[in-house]
Structure 1
Amino acid sequence: MCLAIPARVVELLPGQQAVVDLSGVRKQVSIALVDDAQLGDYVIVHVGYAIGKIDPEEAERTLALFAELASAQGDA
């Protein structure tokens, strides 16, 4: 099973790289597959690569579900 997660682009870097933020965790990823990625965009990240853009509202819903799942795991 593969998992790709939404993250917000917070910095554009040279060489088709960007820094993304996922709930406070920042990571450098390749944006070579998403030519039009801009600051503030949400992208889907899989193993260090942004593989597509996602609507901000959908990204927020997905991240909220992940947070809910993590919280439920902590309660178990």
Structure 2
Amino acid sequence: MFDGLVRTFVPVAAGVLLTRVASYGLELPEAAVTDVLTVLVTAAYYALARLLERRAPRLGRALVSASLTSRTPVYTAGDGTP
């Protein structure tokens, strides 16, 4: 469970941080614009990190999990089968 949470929260935190940095000094019209930008940046970051994880596993894992875990989570059905 820890691995899945890490792999969710790290890209979200990176997306928020990247959006804040990219929009620093810009006068965005509404908070909703910032929210949409954050979602788009987060999705792009995650997609890029997952792509890199396939082509360069160490780099991709570092981007997806900040090297807090090296395992990819395995999700199982309710009866314990993968």
Q: TM-score range by the shorter chain?
A: 0.3 to 0.5
TM-score normalized by structure 2?
0.33
Normalising by the residue count of structure 1, what TM-score does the alignment of the two structures yield?
0.35
Q: Which has the larger radius of gyration?
A: 2
Higher strand content, 1 or 2: 1
Q: Which structure is richer in relative contact order (CA contacts within 8 A, separation 6 or more)?
A: 2
